[in-house]
Structure 1
Amino acid sequence: MKPEICPFCGEKRLEELEPTEIMVDNSLWVIHHYECQFCTEVFDKIIPEGELEYDIDEEADIYGDTDEKRFRN
């Protein structure tokens, strides 16, 4: 989940930079980098493997459909 505001100044103008992937104890960690376009501070959000979060609507966009029936078991 993308941060909504800058933790330094509270502004909402964030630019996502290229993420970094590293292996830690045989586990993939993804480090997302963000830069505030107001105060120019750069901060990170680290997501260890298995804790990836995503939005169902984003997944639907990837597959080109938003049919809710596809998400039901």
Structure 2
Amino acid sequence: MEPSFCPYCGEEHLDELDPTELMVDNQKWIIYHYECKVCGEIFDKIYIDEEYGDMEDDEDDENRLWS
């Protein structure tokens, strides 16, 4: 899942930064951030967790917080 090279300069020296998780249209998206040690560019890889569970199937909405 981790990229093997920088899409900007082609080098293989990458640092993985802290990922970001968010909900989009009842899907859990995990955004992985990478920084190239050579050129300094930061790029992302997005993973959509299809098995996260659909919130519409849950009938108990009383204790759910919506934002």
User: TM-score, with normalisation over the residues of structure 2?
Assistant: 0.73
Instruction: Looking at secondary structure, tell me which structure has more helix per residue.
Output: 1
Larger radius of gyration: 2
What's the counterpart of residue 3 of structure 1?
3
Shift of 1:50: 2.3
Structure 1 counterpart of 2:32, which letter?
A: H
Instruction: Looking at secondary structure, tell me which structure has more strand per residue.
Output: 2
Q: CA RMSD in A?
A: 1.2
What's the counterpart of residue 46 of structure 2?
46
- Number of residue pairs matched by the alignment: 51
Quick one: percent identity of the two aligned structures? Answer: 59
Structure 2 counterpart of 1:41, which letter?
A: E
- Tell me, which stretches of 5 or more residues in structure 2 are unaligned? 52-67
User: TM-score, with normalisation over the residues of structure 1?
Assistant: 0.68
